[in-house]
Amino acid sequence: MNFSTTLLQWFAKNGRSLPWRETSDPYAIWLSEIILQQTRIVQGQSYWERFMKLWPTVSDLARATTDEVLKAWQGLGYYSRARNLHTAAMQIVERGEFPKTHKELKTLKGVGDYTAAAIASIAFGENVAVVDGNVYRVLARYFGIDTPIDTTGGKKLFQELAQSLIPSDQPANYNQAIMDFGAIQCTPTSPHCDTCPLCETCIAFREQHIDSLPVKSKKVKQRVRHLTYIFIQHQGLTAIHQRGAGDIWQGLWELPQAEHLDSIGDGTWKEHAQLVCKDVKHVLTHQILLADLYYWTPQNQPPLPKDFIWSPTETLEDYAYPRLMEILLQAIKKD
């Protein structure tokens, strides 16, 4: 029995039951793929259900505001996904129909090779293989490939191999099978080799190279970044602003930072603000953030940069914040 057939048989018995697998609606499938980028299914499913309830069709999503979409996305992280999702919804509505091919799907904002292949194969039956982290791991181990997966040559090699293995009559099932197999059976650590139907012909298992495959040549470098936030409360109002482009958390809201007040030459807060918490750690892909939070209740409303607003404190929860800001606002509540 060959690799692909074995995978399909395994999938028939062990595949995950997921709501977006119970429909052929490309919108529902596309939405699930975007949400599950960088997100575990156990967390992502509730967000998928929320989006489908708020915006049942792509037209509904296109009519939403960016702030509404970011608010619904709050807590998932990687907020560019939400902005791209909204932009792509408007692209689809403008063209009049959902793109049906891998090539057409890649014209949508935020849709790359993997996502386009998943939608094209699952929603439209196109014979195109997906390649994600799970696929890299399964193929690297089974075929004993030590070519780094984060190189141009490695990506080409694995894409061609994946495409050669996909059965033309079952592209959707095969793609879902290999993704589930990597997530459930051939896991990154402690894979279940003792119950694996492929272990007898798996090179990594035979040669005891499981822990060293797949190979990556580059390591992500993280820089440490210190942030100082001030919760300014005056007569039931709190100062916040919406982050602009060119940095993390574009379009999300935050409290003023020390640098914002320094930019207008107001250092009064340093004399009167109380420290609430210090060095609150939040890890991003390329940055480690360490945040301090101060609480300040000035007698007179202080000047702020022009892009800030004063919001009623009781309505702060109506805005979309990055996860770090949620943690700091919770600290204020507790304090």
Place of tokens 């919760």: 231
CB-CB contact of 315 with 247 (8 Å): no
d(CA 255, CA 260): 10
The single-letter DSSP state of residue 247 is S
For residue 40, with 0-12 CB atoms within 10 Å meaning exposed, 13-18 middle and 19 or more buried, which class applies?
Answer: exposed
- What is the rounded distance in angstroms from the CA atom of residue 268 to the CA atom of residue 11? 63
The distance from CA 124 to its chain's CA centroid, rounded to whole angstroms, is 24
Residue 33 is a catalytic residue: yes
Q: How far apart are CA 3 and CA 313, in angstroms?
A: 59
Which candidate in 22, 33, 254, 259 is catalytic?
A: 33
Q: Which amino acid is at 262?
A: D
Q: How is residue 257 annotated by DSSP?
A: B
Q: Are 248 and 322 a contacting pair, CB within 8 Å?
A: yes
SS (H, E, C) 165-209: HCCCCCHHHHHHHHHHHHHHHCCCCCCCHHHCCCHHHCHHHHHCC
How far is residue 142 from each of residues 2, 149, 206, measured CA to CA in Å?
12, 15, 9
Task: Please identify every residue annotated as catalytic.
Answer: 33
